[in-house]
Structure 1
Amino acid sequence: MSQADDIKLEKFSSGVLNDAKEELTKATADVEDFRKKEMQGTEEKVLHEAYDLIQAKIADIHTKQSRQVSLAELEGRRKLLLLRDQMMQKTFDEVAEKIKAYTQTAEYSKWLCDTLQKSCKSMPAGSLIVQVKSGEITPNDQMTAAAGRDSVAIEESSKVTLGGFILVNKTKGIVVDETLDQKLHNEEDWFAASSGLSIGI
């Protein structure tokens, strides 16, 4: 082989080797690029799953906190309602005792007779029954005189415990409740709404 042939062969070999190196470099770069893309995709998937998990945990915490707050509010309102009822009961027990003391006075007897007189004046004709509590201090003759009717019966009734009276016209089927029991009962709803102890639910 001549020297010229050797030079040509060397150039050819060098060219082939350079081409091979370029192909190897390109292939290596392609592999690295593919690896990076795969890694990036995997990282994004992991991050996305982690984000979803965190959001689910946060939502679960919020749900539990909301449930705990709701239960605490319900328990708080239940205790307030119980306290309100206890305060109301105590208040009305004290009022009832004062009413009982009042019904032992001459002032009460005057009120009873005046109220009975007004009620009888507006009552249609017919025999009347005046129901009072057991142990009523107002004399029967005073109540009969206040009624201003010929036919009036004074009776004790278990329906009256504090004082006042229930006026019954059996002929007309009319009943008028002027008991202090009923008046006190009527104040309970007003007291609950106006005493500052009303609780919204």
Structure 2
Amino acid sequence: MQYNTLEELEAYFKQEIRKVSEKELEEVRREIEKIKNKVVTELEETAKLNAKIIVDQELKEIDSDHAISLSRLADDNNRRLMAKRQELTEGLFADVRNKLLAYAATDDYKTMMGEKTRKLAQRFRADAVLIVGKRDESLLPELLRSFSEGTQGTVDPQIELGGFRLEVKKDRIIVDETFDSTLNEEREKFYANSNLIIG
């Protein structure tokens, strides 16, 4: 194609330059779009990763707070249960104590004391001490009749609920038939074997 004038030639160059420029611009736009998409994808991935890290960290903190709360709740619950167990146990043994005190005021109690001391008097003849509580001091002369003359009687204020203790010093024998000792032993057995386990 032939160009007759300088203007036609100039117009041709301009058009060619525009075509080449537009083509290069289109390639640059595509490259920019690719780079932009790549950067956006990377940013999205980074944001997702950061969000996952943050969410995981938040979940760990929530789990930790939850575990601490559960532990505190369990501790508080155990304390309340232990206090209730203690209250019920004390109530039970207070009832038993009151029943023993009531029994110690009956004629059946006096009969029981007489029978037990007579049986022991047959086994231990001399050099013994029969010990009763302050409440049973009036029974002491009667109880000592079963024993031989060498047996002495005394009062121990520590025996509150009833019963007696016989000490044979020569043979180093102590026969403890006090309700106080029996109740204490039963309390220890109860705590050891009650199956009132908190857990």
Question: Is the structural similarity TM-score above 0.5?
Answer: yes
Give the conservation status (yes or no) of the 8 Å contact 1:77–1:199. Answer: no
Give me the whole-angstrom Cα distance separating, in 2, the residues matched to 1:29 and 1:191.
87
In structure 1, list runs of 5 or more residues that go unmatched.
Answer: none
Give the conservation status (yes or no) of the 8 Å contact 1:166–1:177. Answer: yes
Aligned residues: 194
- Name the counterpart of 1:78: 79
Larger deviation, residues 179-188 vs 20-29: 20-29
SS at match of 2:153: strand
1:177 aligns with 2:186: no
**Alpha-carbon shift at residue 195 of structure 1 (Å):** 6.3
TM score, norm. by length of structure 2: 0.80
CA 1:43–1:120 in structure 2 vs 1: closer, same or farther (change >3 Å)? farther
**Alpha-carbon shift at residue 102 of structure 1 (Å):** 0.9
- Within 5 Å, give how 1:157-196 maps onto structure 2: 157-192=156-191
**Alpha-carbon shift at residue 20 of structure 1 (Å):** 5.1
Aligned partner of 1:37: which letter? K
Structure 1 residue runs of 4+, over 3 Å off? 2-6, 12-24, 117-123, 189-196
Give me the whole-angstrom Cα distance separating, in 2, the residues matched to 1:168 and 1:60.
67
- Name the counterpart of 1:88: 89
TM score, norm. by length of structure 1: 0.80
In structure 2, list runs of 5 or more residues that go unmatched.
Answer: none
Give me the whole-angstrom Cα distance separating, in 1, the residues matched to 2:185 and 2:44.
73
Give the conservation status (yes or no) of the 8 Å contact 2:135–2:162. Answer: no
- Within 5 Å, give how 1:26-65 maps onto structure 2: 26-65=27-66
Give me the whole-angstrom Cα distance separating, in 1, the residues matched to 2:192 and 2:111.
32
**Alpha-carbon shift at residue 121 of structure 1 (Å):** 4.6
CA 1:74–1:118 in structure 2 vs 1: closer, same or farther (change >3 Å)? farther
% identical aligned pairs: 22
Aligned alpha-carbon RMSD (Å): 3.0
CA 1:141–1:18 in structure 2 vs 1: closer, same or farther (change >3 Å)? same
Give me the whole-angstrom Cα distance separating, in 1, the residues matched to 2:150 and 2:126.
8
Aligned partner of 2:67: which letter? S
Aligned partner of 1:56: which letter? Q
Give me the whole-angstrom Cα distance separating, in 2, the residues matched to 1:37 and 1:122.
105
Give me the whole-angstrom Cα distance separating, in 2, the residues matched to 1:44 and 1:173.
88
**Alpha-carbon shift at residue 178 of structure 1 (Å):** 1.1
Give me the whole-angstrom Cα distance separating, in 2, the residues matched to 1:22 and 1:150.
137
Q: 1 or 2 for the larger relative contact order (CA 8 Å, sep ≥6)?
A: 1
**Alpha-carbon shift at residue 58 of structure 1 (Å):** 1.4
SS at match of 2:55: helix
- Name the counterpart of 2:98: 97
Give me the whole-angstrom Cα distance separating, in 1, the residues matched to 2:25 and 2:116.
118
CA 1:33–1:73 in structure 2 vs 1: closer, same or farther (change >3 Å)? same
